[in-house]
């Protein structure tokens, strides 16, 4: 299913942003995808399943959560390394990469979630 | 600084003496709340009063700190003295043909000013984290201006508030309390304001507002332009624009038109999607045009506590709000060309000095891969993803907690930051570190 990737701030990501950037707390707060309940249903994805997200820039596997409000059409990932693996580095001469409104293919996968080591190659 | 001795009751029930420092400014988000009481026991912060979840995490929780200056040899970082790390940092800048400097939103304006001087000396470029935040707002305001107001004016007067592409409950948690819903002003009570959220998802902020308007991702520009057109008396020949029913846009416009004082707070939902700075131009133009009917202002929801300060300081010093290049005989201001992600993409920078930032987490991964190919000097209080490959790491004090300074709030009002505790033994301030690197250069 094709959705639109939107990355952004959350309270959890914000609380761990400064002081706990290399801890499980930050990883838990930044490494998930939040889907609209109906979209998740259509995709056969339940809370806690692993979803594969793929854009023109890359792919990541993330634990899925379902949104409490209307989030139809949107795959929300907290700002951070996991979201940014899906964002291209082109800025169309604006200086600003496209951190929101990126077309993204989402499907359920049996794979394990992508770690920071996977992303940074260590 | 006001320090009082108060009596407090410890968990065990014994009365203990605690110091309280009143009216401390929170150095976390662009709201810069300046009413925090910080309680100290044995020289350490034990708790704070009036903070939010984010400020509690910043002031009180256990912190991972960079414990010592370090220099990378092979795969490993080796602890060195400040003197050696600073000499190595200066060497990296000296040997580079085109060094780039990035970060600065979590530093004081005093340190930011020194950083700009350093990059002039080093003949490189400098910009702030607004490159991946509100840079489109800066560009739009340069192009077509924006009707602005202080947060106090909004609190006292605004009867209609629109949060467009912004989720203050999670990014600026006390905004509703200090400025809008729960803040009573001279002329308007908080509960009497009409508050709407325009966003692509129904966020927590949308849930507690009077109205949620769902726009499709990237649809902001069309929706805003449709509202401008309707304001000129034109009829829109479509049922929906930007995923929003035209009727809903008309009603929202009507509320703003009828308001005595409307304020549009805009966030990254506007700057980071679709038409980027053109979105902001449409938004601030709409705000301007509404002044033909009542008062309407617009304020960007700036993220880091002093990201706005960098724009101010760089403008005093160079005439431009950042993203300036000192490699030629004249200052070259070219966002989209001098911005760090663009420089990395085309191999335009051959060393990076990072002050209070984590591009490994906040740049697109492709840019991070290129960043790893150049020498990186990192000045930061905390280890982060970038520390994993930085070549020189220099620990710094937390300004606003362990050092004083000045910062600019989201509405560009300057606010003083206090020092409430000492930094870990021997740890230097950003100001001192930048001065030392300049000396070594
Ligand atoms: S809203 Fe922002 S400035 Fe105010 S206490 Fe919370 S984090 Fe600090």
CATH architecture of the region B135-300: 3-Layer(aba) Sandwich (3.40)
Using pLDDT thresholds of 50, 70 and 90, give the confidence band for residue B326. very high
Rounded Cα–Cα distance for residues B264 and B161 (Å): 6
Q: Quote the DSSP letter at residue A35.
A: E
Residue B383 at interface with chain A, using a CB cutoff of 8 Å:
yes
Contact B395, B69 (CB under 8 A): yes
Residue B352 token pair = 């990076």
Which pTM was predicted?
0.93
Three-state DSSP class for A7? strand
The interface predicted TM-score (ipTM) is 0.92
For residue B76, list its beta bridge partners. B73
- B342 and A99 within 8 Å at the Cβ level: the answer is no
| Centroid of ligand 1 to alpha carbon of B23 (angstroms) | 13
Instruction: Dump pLDDT digits (tens) for B390-429.
Output: 999 999 999 999 999 999 999 999 999 999 999 999 999 9
Among protein residues, the one with the nearest Cα to ligand 1's atom 2 is B29
Q: Where in chain B is the domain with CATH 3.40.228.10?
A: 135-300
| Contacts B342 to A, Cβ<8 Å | 91, 93, 95
What confidence tens digit (pLDDT) does each residue in B149-196 have?
999 999 999 999 999 999 999 999 999 999 999 999 999 999 999 999
CB contact under 8 A, A95 and B62: no
Contact across the interface for B388 and A57, Cβ inside 8 Å: no
In this structure, the number of other CB atoms found within 10 A of the CB of residue A111 comes to 10
Distance of CA B324 to CAs B143, B213, B291, Å?
18, 38, 34
Residue B383 has pLDDT above 90, yes or no: yes
Mean predicted lDDT score pLDDT of chain A: 89
Domain span(s) for CATH 3.40.50.740 in chain B: 70-132+305-440
Residues in chain B: 441
Give pLDDT tens digits for B339-353: 999 999 999 999 999
Q: Please report residues of A whose CB lies closer than 8 A to that of B333.
A: none
Q: Which of B24, B28, B48, B176 to mutate to test the pocket of ligand 1 (most atoms within 8 A of CB)?
A: B28
pLDDT at A16: 66
Q: Which overall architecture, per CATH, does domain B70-132+305-440 show?
A: 3-Layer(aba) Sandwich (3.40)
Q: Which atom of ligand 1 is nearest to the CA of B25?
A: 3
By CB atoms closer than 10 A (0-12, 13-18, 19+), residue B12 is: exposed
Give the mean model confidence (pLDDT) for residues B47-74.
Answer: 91
Domains delineated in chain A: 2-121 (2.40.40.20)
């Amino acid at each position: 299913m094709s959705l639109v990737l939107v990355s952004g701030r959350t309270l959890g990501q914000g609380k761990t942003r400064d002081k706990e950037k290399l801890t499980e707390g930050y990883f838990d707060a930044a490494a998930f995808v939040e889907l609209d309940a109906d979209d998740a249903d259509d995709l056969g994805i339940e809370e806690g399943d692993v979803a594969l997200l793929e854009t023109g820039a890359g792919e990541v596997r993330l634990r899925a959560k379902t949104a409490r409000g209307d989030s139809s059409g949107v795959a929300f990932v907290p700002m951070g390394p996991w979201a940014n693996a899906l964002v291209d580095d082109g800025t169309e001469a604006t200086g600003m990469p496209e951190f929101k409104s990126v077309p993204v293919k989402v499907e359920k996968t049996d794979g394990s979630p992508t770690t920071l080591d996977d992303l940074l190659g260590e | 600084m006001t320090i009082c001795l108060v009596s407090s009751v410890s968990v065990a029930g014994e009365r203990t003496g605690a110091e309280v420092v009143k009216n401390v400014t929170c150095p976390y988000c662009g709201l810069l709340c300046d009413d925090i009481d910080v309680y100290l026991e044995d020289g350490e912060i034990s708790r704070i009063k009036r903070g939010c979840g984010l400020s509690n995490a910043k002031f009180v929780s256990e912190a991972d700190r960079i414990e010592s200056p370090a220099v990378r040899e092979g795969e490993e970082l080796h602890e060195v003295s400040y003197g050696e790390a600073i000499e190595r940092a200066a060497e990296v800048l000296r040997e580079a043909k085109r060094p780039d400097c990035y970060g600065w939103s979590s530093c004081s304006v005093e340190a930011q000013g020194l950083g700009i001087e350093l990059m002039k000396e080093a003949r490189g470029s400098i910009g702030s984290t607004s490159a991946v935040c509100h840079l489109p707002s800066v560009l739009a305001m340069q192009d077509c201006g924006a009707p602005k107001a202080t947060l106090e004016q909004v609190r006292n007067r605004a009867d209609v508030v629109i949060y467009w592409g912004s989720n203050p409950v999670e990014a600026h948690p006390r905004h509703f309390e200090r400025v809008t819903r729960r803040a009573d002003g001279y002329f308007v009570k908080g509960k009497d304001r009409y508050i709407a959220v325009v966003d692509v998802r129904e966020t927590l902020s949308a849930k507690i507002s009077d109205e949620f308007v769902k726009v499709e991702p990237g649809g902001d520009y069309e929706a805003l332009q449709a509202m401008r057109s309707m304001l000129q008396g034109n009829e829109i020949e479509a049922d929906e624009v930007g995923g929003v029913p035209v009727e809903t846009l008309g009603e929202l416009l009507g509320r703003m038109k009828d308001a005595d004082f409307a304020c549009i707070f805009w966030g990254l939902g506007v700057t980071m999607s679709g038409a980027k700075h053109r979105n902001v131009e449409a938004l601030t133009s709409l705000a301007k045009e509404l002044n033909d009917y009542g008062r309407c202002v617009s304020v960007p929801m700036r993220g880091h506590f002093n990201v706005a300060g960098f724009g101010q300081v760089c403008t005093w010093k160079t005439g431009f709000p950042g993203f300036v290049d000192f490699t030629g005989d004249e200052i070259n201001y070219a966002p989209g060309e001098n911005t760090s992600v663009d420089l990395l993409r085309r191999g335009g920078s051959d060393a990076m000095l990072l002050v209070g930032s984590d591009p490994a987490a906040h740049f697109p991964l492709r840019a991070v891969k290129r960043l790893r190919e150049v020498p990186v000097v990192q000045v930061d209080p905390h280890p982060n993803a970038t520390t994993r490959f930085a070549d020189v790491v220099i620990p710094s004090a937390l300004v606003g907690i362990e050092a004083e300074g000045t910062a600019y709030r989201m509405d560009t009002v300057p606010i003083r930051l206090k020092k409430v505790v000492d930094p870990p033994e021997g740890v230097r301030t950003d100001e001192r570190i930048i001065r030392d690197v300049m000396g070594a250069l």
